[in-house]
Structure 1
Amino acid sequence: MAEGLELAGVRIQRNGAALVGLDHHVRPGEVLTVMGPSGVGKSTLLAFVTGTLSSDFSATGEVRLDGVDITHLPPERRRVGILFQDDLLFPHLSVADNLAFGLAPEGSRSARRAKVEAALADIELAGFGPRDPATLSGGQKARVALMRMLLAEPQALLLDEAFSGLDASLRTQMRDLVFGRARRLNLPVLMVTHDADDATAAGGPVVELTGR
């Protein structure tokens, strides 16, 4: 069984026009960067991997995660986490409740609370649980969004321009945090970005989509 994320013969078309063609094996802890201009199909590729591809597109090929074909599983069963440019925290929930949303439903209330408190401490936000997400800085929101996704225990991580909304110093910090966690947890990472510096920081293979 091959570990990691495999994109086997993935071909995506729209109205008969080829958008994406990719064959790649992303090993645990490795980051595959997919680059290309806007509209070339980068986010479309991620939608195929997560199972949220619009019916406007047609696709062939397989997505395998740790040797298991997940191509036709519903999104909630794929065990794939994704981070976007926007943090997408729930504004009506506290920071702690946002994190708890990532947890599996089983377990006692006290056990879940303990996991949330440990997660906050892990991202240097101890005591921030009762806070309204609107009171957090951009970097703090990004860390909470990352930890919420990790609490769901994904087996692969997708990054959709995840760092592009941050200023230069925060961008460097979040790259280090995300890539470091992925290596530590042995998560294969598929990142789409416009920024060559993201690819350099990731240190893995780079694929250019041209839209031909």
Structure 2
Amino acid sequence: MLELKNITIKKSMAQDKVLIDDLTMQIKPGEIKALMGASGSGKSTLLNYLLGHLENYFSASGEIELYGRAITHLAPHLRQLGILFQSGMLFPHLSVLDNINYAISQKFTSKEKKAYVLDLLHQVGLSEISQQMPNTLSGGQYIRVALVRTIAANPKGLLLDEPFSRLDANNRFKVRDWLFNYVREKNIPVLLVTHDLEDVEATGHIATYLGNQRG
């Protein structure tokens, strides 16, 4: 379970402007909950706080727990949270295969890694592009590779920041359906930031709306 307890985030460079005020949320294993809100309402800022990457001009309070373990003050790499950004952010100098391999634990052999990656690529319809470079991929391929890289790391919790926005309608449905089925099967709690009501409907829950402040 991913738990957010009384999270408050202020923008200290703007007279302590409150972006997020006393947010409490529980996301059970295999559950997907959505955040919605206007641009500047603090959605991405909240995700950065959960990851441990909050910028210096913000101040925050509240607690984050993952499966009962307090992670609020842990270094980002120890939190065991995965994130998929809208941009994907693949390493441009690495092939698709090597991008995904980068996320996998070193305890696996090269052969095991390759088999695992190729199976994940097959599941999202990208079996034939494992040796391609990121700059040769379409927008839809790019974001699906980024998704596979995030999943391949076996995160205990998953954060999604507008992950399907670069996909066409057909791929959007297929990838969203695959991902949501995957996290439910693996019992991964998921927090989704989206502007799309169809994404929210697919979670099976009502979205949480953040304030409509600008900034």
The alignment's TM-score, normalised by the length of structure 1, stands at 0.92
| Cα separation, 1, equivalents of 2:142 and 2:166 | 11
1:28, 1:187 within 8 Å by CA — same for their partners in 2? yes
Q: TM-score, normalised by structure 2?
A: 0.90
- 1:90 Cα offset (Å): 1.5
- Residue range with higher mean Cα deviation, 110-119 or 180-189: 110-119
Unaligned 5+ residue runs, structure 2?
none
- Aligned residue for 2:105, secondary structure, equals coil
Distance in 2 (CA, whole Å) between partners of 1:31 and 1:73 is 24
Paired residues of 1:30 and 1:204 also in contact (CA < 8 A): no
**Is residue 12 of structure 2 the alignment partner of residue 11 of structure 1?**
no
RMSD, aligned α-carbons: 1.6
- Runs (4 or more) in structure 1 with deviation over 6 Å come to none
Which structure 2 residues correspond to residues 149-168 of structure 1 after superposition, within 5 A?
A: 149-168=150-169
The whole-number CA distance in structure 2 between the counterparts of 1:133 and 1:91 is 6
Contact 1:31–1:205 (CA<8 Å) still a contact in 2? Answer: no
Partner SS, residue 61 of structure 1? strand
Q: Report the Cα offset of residue 120 of structure 1.
A: 2.6
Q: Which moved more, 1:201-210 or 1:102-111?
A: 102-111
Superimposed CA distance per residue, residues 94-135 of structure 1 (whole angstroms, 9 cap, x where no aligned partner): 111011011012333333233223333333323422122233
Distance 1:25 1:180 in 2: 20
Q: Report which stretch shifted further, 14-23 or 109-118.
A: 109-118
Q: Which runs of 5+ in 1 are unaligned?
A: none
- Are residues 32 and 100 of structure 1, via their aligned partners in 2, closer, same or farther at CA, if it must alter by over 3 Å? same
Identity, in percent, stands at: 44
| Paired letter, 2:39 | S
Q: What amino acid sits opposite 2:116 in the alignment?
A: K
Q: Distance in 2 between matches of 1:108 and 1:167?
A: 36
How many equivalent residue pairs?
A: 209
